[in-house]
Homo-oligomer: A and B are copies of this chain.
């Protein structure tokens, strides 16, 4: 009964032991172009994974009232994760606020909507530059069995997504300008 966030946590831990804090950082971006979560949710789910025996932790001395807990996968956790990977996934994200706004954009002033899309375009262009820098950091495409393959493949997807999105923003700005 592990939630999807639970598997996200397992997926990050599969690359190495981490604290809840590290997991939060990994999943709030910049590396997390796939799933995000706040630390409150991560802590909740870590407790569940712990109860299910999919992760364990070593207590270390550290800051805060409770010290530091370095979590790692158990063999059971690794098996559960591997089995989940090849189960069919929900095809596409079901919620996209900008697309929803676009759907209702005929109601608003085109100039204001264009402004919204110019802001979005700038964000996408920033991300494209950042992802291209990250991609350049890989000398070659990692082999499919290496942990780096997962990072490279999601980066490829993220970059492709940002380019598609940027192209859409440009098209929208053009349409909104032409109609004015």
CB within 8 Å of B: which residues of A?
Answer: 4, 7-8, 10-11, 14, 33-36, 78, 81-82, 84-86, 88-110, 112-113, 115-116, 119-120, 123-124, 141, 143-151, 153-154, 156-158, 160-161, 163-165, 167-168, 171-172, 175-176, 179-180
Pair A90/B100 contact, Cβ less than 8 Å: no
Q: Of all chain B residues, which has the CB nearest A31?
A: B103
25 intermolecular pairs with C-beta atoms under 8 Å apart: A7-B100, A34-B99, A34-B100, A34-B102, A85-B104, A85-B113, A86-B108, A88-B116, A89-B101, A89-B116, A89-B120, A91-B98, A92-B165, A93-B93, A103-B151, A103-B154, A105-B149, A106-B144, A106-B146, A106-B147, A106-B149, A113-B144, A144-B180, A149-B175, A161-B164
Residues of B within 8 A of A92 (CB): 96, 161, 165
Pair B85/A101 contact, Cβ less than 8 Å: yes
Contacts A7-B100, A144-B179, A157-B99 given; does A108 touch B85 at CB 8 Å: yes
Residues of B within 8 A of A172 (CB): 153
